[in-house]
Amino acid sequence: MRLVLLGPPGAGKGTQASAIVKKYNIPHISTGDIFRANIKEGTELGKKAKEYMDKGLLVPDELVVSIVKDRLTKDDCTNGFLLDGFPRTVNQAEALDTELSSMGLKLNKVINIDADSKILIERAIGRRICKECGATYHIKFNPPKVEGKCDKENSPLFQRDDDVEETVATRINVYFEQTQPLIDYYQQKGLILNIDGTKPIDDIFNTIVEALEK
Ligand code: ADP
Ligand code: AMP
């Protein structure tokens, strides 16, 4: 199963990604997670990416595309993969198409999760993440059993630097300008699966699985 998760920040891509990769036993490739890991490790890539991420802007295509191309050649991608947060520009989508066709592969589906801006802002601002395992919670919509602690690891939860209102608003605008055109791009290829991101987490997951198995 070769999948792409498309949608604005806070739509629920990462949340659904965790459940989808578990069910289909494929790797979760989140470019945002790759950049955050690089920032944590203090790499050159992390330093460059942080300049853009802190402002809510996209990291330049040339930095992102090479990382994904390289990642797709790893052994764990033989059964497929789930791309989360990539592609985000038409240029990235074209680069992905070229790379996949050179490998003799095609995407199976592009899952487009959507919600309106008011919900997206509330979701992103209330998002909390486990420092150890990366599990995602929401202070109101998906709270951990013990406040501020991961259910699985019992470790502290943190808030992303870019999950503050002003940056989230910029990220949503950037999505509308640079990423939303991908819906048309993939619609023309007959790959889009539109999902209402305002539904409960489990309902969304069931709808996705049903559609993938049709
Ligand atoms: P994205 O990866 O698209 O930016 P996330 O999956 O991290 O979004 O979700 C953003 C926030 O919204 C998280 O705090 C998550 O717990 C919460 N969330 C995700 N899906 C839903 C949903 N269907 N209903 C309510 N809250 C949700
Ligand atoms: P995410 O974790 O998907 O919300 O991404 C967080 C931030 O990482 C974005 O606001 C961008 O700055 C950067 N980023 C992640 N993926 C990409 C991508 N495909 N292209 C450009 N920038 C990206």
CA of residue 163 to ligand 2 center, whole Å: 12
Q: What is the mean pLDDT of residues 52-67?
A: 97
Tokens 């055109």, residue located: 181
Q: What's the pLDDT tens digit per position in 116-172?
A: 999 999 999 999 999 899 999 999 999 999 999 999 999 999 999 999 999 999 999
Q: Supply φ then ψ for residue 154, to 5 degrees.
A: 60, 15
Q: How confident is the model at residue 72 (pLDDT cuts 50, 70, 90)?
A: very high
Q: Which of 13, 137, 138 to mutate to test the pocket of ligand 1 (most atoms within 8 A of CB)?
A: 138
> Amino acid letter at 51?
E
Q: Supply φ then ψ for residue 3, to 5 degrees.
A: -125, 150
CA of residue 102 to ligand 1 center, whole Å: 34
- The pLDDT assigned to 68 comes to 98
Q: How confident is the model at residue 30 (pLDDT cuts 50, 70, 90)?
A: very high
Residue 42 exposed, middle or buried by CB count within 10 Å (0-12, 13-18, 19+): exposed
CA of residue 56 to ligand 2 center, whole Å: 8
Q: What is the mean pLDDT of residues 196-214?
A: 97
- Listed by start position, the domains of the chain span 2-115+179-212
CA 172 to chain centre: 14
- The pLDDT assigned to 130 comes to 95
Classify domain 2-115+179-212 by CATH number: 3.40.50.300
- The pLDDT assigned to 106 comes to 97
Q: Which of 142, 171, 179, 199 to mutate to test the pocket of ligand 1 (most atoms within 8 A of CB)?
A: 142
- The pLDDT assigned to 193 comes to 98
Nearest-angstrom CA–CA distance, 11 and 75: 30
Specify the ligand 1 atom closest to the Cα of 126: 14
